């Protein structure tokens, strides 16, 4: 009994840290200024239609949920971090989108079995620490024959490499936690869903990021706005040499990926677009 209680308490503490990580900085700016088109791409790939019941998991500020609602679907946007949902509500109101916002854990969704026609997540569920639990929940709340769609950064793409660059400076992950970019590995995602899905489509694509004039401008923006980056810098704040080293590493990473002309840093960030249908008879 003690071990069970300890496990529950450890999970609560982990989720509290995740919630706090995404609440710091300005992730709404990242979603709106750096990757605004990704949610609509996922919604289109999932074939969302008017009247469908759609759940956006780890929705953040609604990068996918709002386009789905504007397409006429009956949408619920859920996320662990209530601060992001509050911003999403304001953005939705500005764009004339009507949908429901609900705080929820991607690994323990508070929805009924088979409740939704489409279940999707845009660079969101990949950050849930226990991949199989999260995948199981995506399948559970999707009706048989319904659509599951996820868009995630790949391990070898820029964001995957950025997270790998920060890893040596960060505290060790808790036992059982898996690296987020694995959700961008086709074999890993196929294994997570197994025979419970059919009609699988997998496509690697890139999004062009041209907001930054220099690699250093990219680094400084993410130091200020992106929760995972902020957390790593806070962990090494008392070590000036480590801070300087990470400063160099992040700027160098952006420099290596820069395909722009003089005076403007242009990068192509790779992501994996995965869609499938929940099998009518789930197994595996």
| Residues 145-182: tens digit of each pLDDT | 999 999 999 999 999 999 999 999 999 988 889 999 99
| Residues 100-112: tens digit of each pLDDT | 999 999 999 999 9
Mean pLDDT, rounded, for 179-198: 98
- Domain boundaries, given as residue ranges, for the chain: 2-155+172-206+270-278
In the structure, what pLDDT confidence band is assigned to residue 284 with cuts at 50, 70 and 90? very low
CA distances from 104 to 8, 76, 263 (A): 16, 11, 43
* Torsional class of 179: left (φ above 0), alpha (ψ -120 to 50), beta (otherwise): beta
Residue 130 has what pLDDT? 96
End-to-end C-alpha distance for the chain, whole angstroms: 30
Mean pLDDT, rounded, for 186-215: 97
**pTM recorded for the entire structure:** 0.94
| Residues 47-92: tens digit of each pLDDT | 999 999 999 999 999 999 999 999 999 999 999 999 999 999 999 9
197 CA to centre of own chain: 21
DSSP 115-178: -EEEEEEESSGGGSS-HHHHHHHHHHTEEEEEEEEEEEE-SSSHHHHHHHHHGGGSPPPPTT--
CA distance 86 to 71: 21
| Residues 18-31: tens digit of each pLDDT | 999 999 999 999 99
Judge: domain 2-155+172-206+270-278, CATH 3.40.50.300. no
């Amino acid at each position: 009994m003690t071990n069970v209680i300890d496990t529950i308490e450890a999970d609560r503490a982990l989720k509290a840290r995740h919630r706090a990580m995404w609440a710091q900085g300005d992730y709404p700016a990242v979603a709106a200024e750096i990757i605004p088109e990704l949610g609509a791409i996922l919604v289109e790939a999932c074939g969302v239609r008017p009247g469908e019941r759609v759940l956006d998991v780890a929705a953040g500020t609604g990068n996918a949920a709002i386009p789905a609602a504007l397409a006429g679907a009956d949408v619920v946007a859920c996320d662990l971090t209530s601060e992001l949902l509050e911003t999403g509500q304001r953005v939705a109101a500005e764009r004339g989108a009507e949908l429901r916002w609900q705080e929820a854990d991607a690994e323990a969704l508070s929805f009924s079995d088979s409740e939704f026609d489409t279940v999707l997540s845009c660079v969101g569920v990949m950050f849930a620490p226990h991949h199989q639990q999260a995948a199981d929940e995506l399948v559970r709340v999707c009706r048989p024959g319904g659509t599951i769609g996820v868009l995630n950064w790949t391990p070898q793409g820029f964001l995957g490499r950025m997270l790998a660059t920060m890893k040596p400076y960060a505290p060790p992950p808790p036992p059982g936690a898996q690296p987020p970019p694995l959700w961008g590995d086709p074999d890993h995602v196929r294994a997570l869903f197994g025979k419970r899905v059919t009609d699988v489509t997998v496509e690697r694509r890139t999004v062009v990021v041209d907001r930054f004039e220099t690699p250093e401008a990219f680094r400084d923006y993410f130091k200020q706005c992106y929760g995972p980056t902020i957390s790593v810098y806070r962990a090494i704040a008392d070590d000036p040499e480590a801070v300087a080293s990470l400063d160099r590493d992040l700027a160098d990473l952006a420099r290596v990926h820069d395909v722009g002309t003089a005076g403007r840093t242009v990068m192509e960030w790779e992501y994996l677009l995965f869609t499938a249908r929940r099998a009518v008879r789930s197994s595996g």
